[in-house]
């Protein structure tokens, strides 16, 4: 099958990683996927994959978020209109059997192409549903769900939300984790530690991936870490990542003000987007992975941390409760700073960490990208037929 997979960015965010991993798994099964993404800085995809990729140049936007999304949707539409979504005779698309959007933005572009007769149908994966304050963004979200020919979900909680709030019976697929994430050291861990200026005594090291933003619960995590430092004065916190479509500058300003107020400048490391080559070693550099996020589609980074042999902390809520329990992770009330801090202190104790790692390790084999690709292919074939 020829499959066009669309995602809104070339930078490492959850749905973008999902798209690239799915594409590679489809390719390894003998199909012809191509990943299309909007590229705002001209640097292309953050990682190389075996299958074909296309980075569609995206121009700067001086307007607000509504104007930005309108522009990004139109950029996708214009790209496909100008790069042959029609056969030579002007009939419907002859390039791809399936068009599959991994987000609201690209799904709106596909909805426009479908309405104009340029494509016959499209699929949309709903990783999570946002509570937009903007009427325009809310309308875009609803359009992307209602006008798709198949809705897919990666978790039970969002599948149920689509049924309850939209009357949509979405198909359940699984996320995966790449085998390049493992507990086996590569030698790059010490290089990373030196690059961050760490001393051998700078332990424990806590890691989270996803940047600083409200739904990652970054401020409460920082407040909890400040408490942890009273017990572990040499502890470090690494917050990796940060590429996002939305502007959370006010939230980041509040975060950095708290860093200064608590005197945590030397204890906090903000390396930004991590290269694909360095990410596995970064997980292994840490003593624990902390991810008290208050809204996720699934939490790919949690699976990656488990595969890397790290003890994990997450919020005691869906979707994490769909694949984790008190025996496999520290599950906390994500709104309770004291509870997060207590769990962070406990999870780095050798006996506690050892049990969490041993109990969580078997989870990984239930989530592989080949399995996900086969589930997608079955749904693609149903739609095409």
Delimit the domains of the chain by residue range: 2-176+368-384, 188-366
Q: Read off the pTM.
A: 0.91
pLDDT band at 84 (very low <50, low <70, confident <90, very high): low
Q: 19-56 burial by CB neighbour count: b if 16+ within 10 A, else e?
A: bbbbbbbbbeeebebbbbbbbbeeeebbbebebebebb
Q: What topology does CATH give the domain 188-366?
A: Rossmann fold (3.40.50)
Per-residue confidence band for 141, with pLDDT thresholds at 50, 70 and 90: very high
- Judged against a pLDDT cut of 70, whether residue 89 lies above it is answered with no
Higher pLDDT, 85 or 15: 15
The pLDDT tens digits of the residues spanning 148-182 come to 999 999 999 999 999 999 999 999 999 999 999 99
Q: Please tell me the predicted confidence (pLDDT) of residue 114.
A: 96
Q: Can you identify the CATH homologous superfamily of domain 2-176+368-384? A: Glycogen Phosphorylase B; (3.40.50.2000)
- For the segment 100-114, the average pLDDT, to the nearest whole number, is 97
Least confident of 28-32, 83-87, 160-164, 364-368: 83-87
Section 336-360 average pLDDT: 98
**Residue 207 CB neighbours (<10 A):** 24
Mean pLDDT, the chain, integer: 94
Whether 90 has a pLDDT exceeding 50, the answer reads no
* pLDDT for residue 246: 66
Q: How many CB atoms lie within 10 A of CB 385?
A: 5
What is the pLDDT averaged over residues 238-250?
A: 80
Least confident among 160-169, 222-231, 235-244, 307-316: 235-244
The yes-or-no answer to whether 2-176+368-384 and 188-366 have a common fold is yes
**How high is the pLDDT of residue 88?**
43
Task: Assess whether pLDDT exceeds 50 at residue 91.
Answer: no
Quick one: pLDDT at residue 18? Answer: 95
Per-residue pLDDT, 95 = 86
Is the predicted pLDDT of residue 56 greater than 90, yes or no?
yes
């Amino acid at each position: 099958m020829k499959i066009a997979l669309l995602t809104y960015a070339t930078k490492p965010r959850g749905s973008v990683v999902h798209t690239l991993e799915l594409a590679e798994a489809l390719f390894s099964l003998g199909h012809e996927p191509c990943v299309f993404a909007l590229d705002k800085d001209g640097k292309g995809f953050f990682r190389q994959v075996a299958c074909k990729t296309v980075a569609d140049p995206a121009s700067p936007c001086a307007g607000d978020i509504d104007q930005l999304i309108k522009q990004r949707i139109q950029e996708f539409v214009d790209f496909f209109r100008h790069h042959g979504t029609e056969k030579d005779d002007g009939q419907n698309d002859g390039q791809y059997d399936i068009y599959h959007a991994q987000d609201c933005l690209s799904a709106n572009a596909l909805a426009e192409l479908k309405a104009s007769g340029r494509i016959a149908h499209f699929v949309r994966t709903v990783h999570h549903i946002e509570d937009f304050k903007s009427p325009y963004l809310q309308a875009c979200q609803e359009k992307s769900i209602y006008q798709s020919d198949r809705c897919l979900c990666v978790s039970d909680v969002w599948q149920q939300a689509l049924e309850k709030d939209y009357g949509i019976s979405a198909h359940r697929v699984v996320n995966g984790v790449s085998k390049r994430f493992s507990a086996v050291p590569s030698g790059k861990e010490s290089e990373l530690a030196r690059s961050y200026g760490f001393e051998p005594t700078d332990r424990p090291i806590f890691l989270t991936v996803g940047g600083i933003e409200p739904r990652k619960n970054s401020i409460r995590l920082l407040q909890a870490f400040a408490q942890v430092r009273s017990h572990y004065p040499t502890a470090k916190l690494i917050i990796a990542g940060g590429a996002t479509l939305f502007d959370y500058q006010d939230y980041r300003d509040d975060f950095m003000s708290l860093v200064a107020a608590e005197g945590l400048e030397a204890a906090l490391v903000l390396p930004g987007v991590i290269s694909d080559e360095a990410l596995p070693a970064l997980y292994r550099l840490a003593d624990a992975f902390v991810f008290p996020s208050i809204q996720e589609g699934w939490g790919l980074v949690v699976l990656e941390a488990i595969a890397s042999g790290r003890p994990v902390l997450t919020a005691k809520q869906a979707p994490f409760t769909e694949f984790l329990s008190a025996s496999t992770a520290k599950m906390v009330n994500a709104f309770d700073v004291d509870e997060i801090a207590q769990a962070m202190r406990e999870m780095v104790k050798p006996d506690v960490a050892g049990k969490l790692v041993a109990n969580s390790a078997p989870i990984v084999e239930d989530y592989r990208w080949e399995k996900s690709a086969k589930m997608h292919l079955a749904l693609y074939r149903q739609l095409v037929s």
